[in-house]
Amino acid sequence: MRFTTVFSSLVVAATNVEATANFSSASVALAGSFTEKNCYGAPIPPWKSGHHPGWYYGKGTAPQGISCVLDSFFCELLNLFPYGYHCPSLPPPTPPHSPPPPHPYTQVKDFYNLQCAAQDDSYLTYGLVDTVDDCYDMCNSVSGCTFFNTYHDVYGKDGSPQLTCTLFSKCLTAGCADNCGGQSQPDGSIDYITESSGYCKAGY
């Protein structure tokens, strides 16, 4: 961890020394390690024991226990790493009198409102979002992502307020939805999956 902190600090310092003044060394280290190599903070996929979401992206209240909250402050820090991950950006405005652009993603046939989530070796990362569009934005910002799966992973007495958003590099089918929960939780409950839907980015 100490090596990561030193390395991350050096990288940012070489980019813009003054820009790091508003960020703690812990935040700099976290941003420096938020990479494809460790699946953007979620190296264990959600169908395996010991998994934990790597990030939260949305406009609501960030859930407890999430290290990487992709808000404007942390995204500003990530932008200091020129070759690292950069948060989703707004699409360019549509020129006047132009037809609306095509929808950027399509729902996979028969992959709608299932009780099981996708699992596949093309897994990239997973986190929590507020909406399906938020999950698409994350897919669009992660290199190689072509498919995303949103669902509620319900556990405990309070259910699941956010959507789980899992990203993959292959456009999957409903046949890949065989993660049906069933994992024991710290409070003794067993999780289960609801409202699982799969989407491919346009062109895939």
Q: How many CB atoms lie within 10 A of CB 197?
A: 21
User: 19 or 35: which carries more pLDDT confidence?
Assistant: 35
Which residues, 6+ apart, have CB-to-CB distance to 150 below 8 Å? 129, 132, 135, 163, 164, 165, 166, 195, 196, 197, 199
Q: What is the pLDDT of residue 6?
A: 44
Phi, psi at 167, each rounded to 5°: -110, 145
**Element containing residue 185 per DSSP (H, E):** none
- Report the share of the chain in percent with pLDDT over 70: 85
Q: Which amino acid is at 40?
A: Y
With vertex at residue 22, the alpha carbon angle to CA 19 and CA 26, rounded to the nearest 5 degrees, is 105
Q: Summarize the confidence of residues 103-130 as an average pLDDT.
A: 96
- Chain mean pLDDT for the chain: 86
- Report the pLDDT value the prediction gives residue 89, as an integer from 0 to 100: 87
SS3 content of the chain, % helix, strand, coil (to 5): 25, 25, 50
DSSP 8-class letter at 132: H
pLDDT at 97 over 70: yes
Q: What is the pTM of this model?
A: 0.85
Q: Which domains does the chain have, with CATH numbers?
A: 2-49+64-78 (no CATH), 105-201 (3.50.4)
36-83 residue pLDDT tens: 999 999 999 999 988 999 999 999 888 888 989 999 999 999 998 888
Q: What are phi and psi of 49, to 5 degrees?
A: -65, 140
Give the tokens for residue 7.
């390395």
